[in-house]
Amino acid sequence: MSRKDCVCPIHHLPLTWSVTRYGLRGDCPLPRCTVVWWADAHTTPADAETRALRQQAHALIDPLWKGQHVKRGRLYRTFKKQFHTGHIGESDATTCRRIIAWALRFRREHGLPVPPTQEEAVAK
């Protein structure tokens, strides 16, 4: 995705750009919209909920391949096949929830620690 044709997926308005110390940031021009895009080839613009779910999915998935429990390539081929996504950063909220559920199941099956989900963490 190039910066030029990058629009808010909810409002279909071109993002407004600013340079931050974390890199280039695109925001939906509507003040109440939470859609942000950090200009990165492997992500798409997303609202606050989706970005939180993407972070949660990465937190569950990344240790699996970093810890050699599963090969990274195999992991992402599984996601492509089961969830039709090649990158967590390009996934919508529904897909992220599926990836999170998959990761929790994988962790249980392999005797790995299962962290509380965000909902459970909030309830405590």
Classify burial at 56, counting beta carbons within 10 Å of its beta carbon; exposed 0-12, middle 13-18, buried 19 or more.
Answer: buried
Binding of Zn ion by 103 (CB under 5 A): no
Which one of 11-19, 48-56, 61-69, 95-103 is the stretch in contact with Zn ion (CB under 5 A)?
A: 11-19
Binding of Zn ion by 28 (CB under 5 A): yes
Binding of Zn ion by 10 (CB under 5 A): yes
Which one of 17-25, 30-38, 48-56, 99-107 is the stretch in contact with Zn ion (CB under 5 A)?
A: 30-38
Query: Distance (Å, rounded) from C-alpha 86 to C-alpha 79?
Result: 6
Binding of Zn ion by 39 (CB under 5 A): no
Binding of Zn ion by 11 (CB under 5 A): yes
- CA 41-77-87 angle, to 5 degrees, is 25
Q: Which residues pair with 20 in a beta bridge?
A: 23
The SS3 call for residue 114 is: coil
Q: Which residues bind Zn ion (CB under 5 A)?
A: 8, 10-11, 28, 30, 33, 35
